[in-house]
Chain A
């Protein structure tokens, strides 16, 4: 009968713990902060709170004697949080770079069936038909603000290892490009001149590839080109080189075809009318989306993969860390068995004993979480990386260790501490006082 009760109570404990972790994972920082404040108030203001505090203090005072095993908890949890936050920071950075590209009041037109500029081809007559569509903003001279663009890929040596060549995207843009991409600003040098074989390099491309300094020349499409400026857009364009549309087209023998047309709309609301007009025109067979939607879509696949990898790796590492914490805390409880039994013999109830072990574990876990987050933040915040994007060329992005990610890491740390501390705590309360006192 007793045994059955014990099994039942253990089951209840596991279920309660699962529910607790589930609730905890859904808490926002405000609720969690509230919970923390209530906990502290209870500790300071109530009698049992005071007792818990004093038992915890005794436990913590023995910490220096078991630094080795305590550091298992701290380092184990720091590892979980560090890896998790770093992987998610990579996903966030990549997504942020592509999401901040484009706007709701510019639209990109591609050939029907194309998901990326690389696969698209439009003729000059298509461009003229598109430019005549309704909803396009006009400049002071009354001309539609439209930029036909060509996007080709070139091999350039990487700065990190000149033996390695990677793909860089070269965008040939129309003369209105500066109006459809208002984020793009020259930070050094000047704009390229139409008709000349001149290029400007995005800051991301300039940082990743060798030989893109102003004044340097490079061979593209069998011809010499000169870099005359550096631009910054704080988005995916930073990974590109820009040149004049017609010059790029002739170097890459594209004739008069282009790959995409970017139009500036009179307002975001004009998009639907523009899209309807262009897609229903029998002379055209095209795909239309806002530039924001187009770039956001390109980030989806990789971001998802990175998030899933981060979670899977994080969960496996967390399992390892939970068992490390269990091990440490069981050992701690066993080492202090006599002391705990003495406390209970002189009248301390189970509550403060259980809570003090839990508090100790949570403190160590929080320390690990903060340590892991801090190390990741120091190492990776703003770290520049690049990968192969949708247009078969390098997209440069930066890791973003956001407060939100750090908070999530801390939540994981505390959840691991909760699971790793509960069972040893219950064990401490269940030890029969008489046997524990007799144990040597």
Chain B
């Protein structure tokens, strides 16, 4: 620590070069911050601890195949299932097809199964009592300027009403917030009563999109899932039950291997960065050969010279990297807010900061090692005479 001012002075010995290098490092870590947080958001649902406590039961053949309502009471009777609810995908949009609203027709138990949805108790009461009531996430409400008490027409791209209308009237009776560990996009969801959906829907009644079960003990997930699937084995409605985590993970995998794409981009970026900062450090040490020799003459041990050069390169990476991640942390939410939730750049999760700092230290040590080694092995007499 006491050498910090020395390291600092060495780092900014050539201001122009250090600043130019810093901008490159900032750009690299800005990109890292943005890509890694997007990647994390995609995988958030498949890693949330809450998702491990819930099972999802859907049709064995495909997610679009409905299940019978009669299954609800039979699932509830399976030992290990604490509570069961169900939902249907509504395919909603507001005013224009491009304004997609993540909307679900849910059973009364559904909101109890999701403790990450924070709906004030009073609003919950009104929701339960209102046939055409709907509760919406805070971000969604802000995007369209919906307030409690508004009646909105929500169109469905799948289900017309019995009276032929495509727009379903809904009363906004609650606006909920979501806890930090909620799946990405939950704060843009809309929930309304399955009962209303079932009664007013032009085709098919008594069909359920999927069931959600809360486990009494998450460790029993596999066994309970097998029991639930056994209920409908060899019937026309065979089911597939998995943890919500696994369900979400399979979804993300179907969109594409986002982790691989992000990894490939960051590989290219960091490879270049190593070359670039390595070059800067090598130049810096080469220029300072005689100064380092003076330090050694004054009694600095070879090891402390090595440590100082290493510290210098790590410091360079940390300054640039933290600024880059800082910009990413500010930029993401700003863009999200500016676009009213249309572009969803998530805030930087703690894991990105941890990974980012680890990468900074590793690259810093990597590029600092060779120059530091050279500085340590420096022969004082040779260096001072300029040989």
Contacts and interface: CB of A to CB of B under 8 A. Distances in A.
A83 interface: yes
Q: Is the interface of B mostly helix, strand, loop or mixed?
A: helix
B359 to A, nearest CB: 15
**Among A83, A252, A330: residue with most chain B CB under 10 A:** A83
A71 B275 contact: yes
Q: Give the bracket for the number of chain A residues in contact with chain B.
A: 35 or more
B272 A320 contact: yes
A222 B157 CA distance: 28
B256 A164 contact: no
Interface stretch (A111-119, A128-136, A139-147, A235-243): A111-119
A115 B157 contact: yes
28 contacts: A68-B275, A72-B275, A79-B269, A79-B271, A79-B272, A86-B264, A113-B160, A113-B166, A164-B250, A164-B253, A166-B250, A220-B61, A221-B61, A222-B236, A319-B27, A320-B23, A320-B24, A320-B27, A320-B269, A320-B272, A321-B24, A323-B20, A323-B27, A324-B24, A327-B280, A328-B279, A387-B256, A392-B63
B22 to A, nearest CB: 8
A313 interface: yes
Interface string B1-37: 0000000000000001100110110011011000100
Contacts of A319: 23, 27
A316 interface: yes
Interface of B: 16-17, 20-21, 23-24, 27-28, 30-31, 35, 60-65, 91, 97, 155-158, 160, 166, 203, 236, 238, 240, 250, 253-256, 264-265, 268-269, 271-273, 275-276, 278-280, 282-283
Nearest to A166: B254
A167 B16 CA distance: 55
A153 B62 contact: yes
A330 B155 contact: no
Contacts of A323: 20-21, 23-24, 27
Nearest to A300: B98
Nearest to A163: B250
B276 A83 contact: no
Q: When A and B form their complex, which 6 residue pairs have the shortest distance between CB atoms, in order from nearest?
A: A320-B27, A153-B62, A79-B268, A323-B23, A327-B20, A320-B24
A309 B27 CA distance: 15
Given A75-B275, A323-B24, A115 B61 contact: no
Nearest to A394: B254
Nearest to B260: A385
A167 B155 contact: no
Given A69-B279, A153-B63, A323-B20, 10 more contacts: A113-B166, A153-B64, A221-B61, A252-B65, A313-B35, A320-B269, A323-B23, A327-B17, A388-B254, A394-B254
